[in-house]
Amino acid sequence: MNPLLTPLLVVSLLVAAGPARATADAPAAPAPSATSAAYLAEGEVRKIDPANAKITVKHGEIKNLRMPAMTMVFRVRDPALLNQVKVGDKIRFAAEKSGPAIVITRIEPAP
């Protein structure tokens, strides 16, 4: 067999075999969700604008967005989230990029 074809044959066989699958002996760990506690930022509600589905939050670092602490206005994905909070509440929240905007996807009371 041609020595140049051997590596090509090995690569072809590996690709054809597909990705390795988890077995019963080694179950796959669940992937962390985007809204897990590791991605919740802490903040304080400064203003609520239900007519425009917006909330102003003075927040700490938002690690998943690499955003430093500041006060800013966010859109909320679900306007019903705004019914859970009032101005002055300490909150934990999840935020993500949605096009050019940053959107809050989850809000809960801070411990």
Return the bridge partners of 94, or none. 106
Domain ranges of the chain: 37-109
Return the bridge partners of 67, or none. 62
Whole-structure pTM value: 0.66
pLDDT digits over 58-88, tens only?
Answer: 999 999 999 999 999 999 999 999 999 999 9
8 pLDDT higher than 90: no
Return the bridge partners of 47, or none. 56
One of 2.60.40.10, 2.40.50.140, 2.40.50.320, 3.40.50.280 is the CATH number of 37-109, namely 2.40.50.320
Q: pLDDT value at position 82?
A: 97
Rounded Cα gap, residues 83 and 54, in angstroms: 12
Is residue 34 left, alpha or beta, with left meaning phi > 0 and alpha meaning psi from -120 to 50? alpha
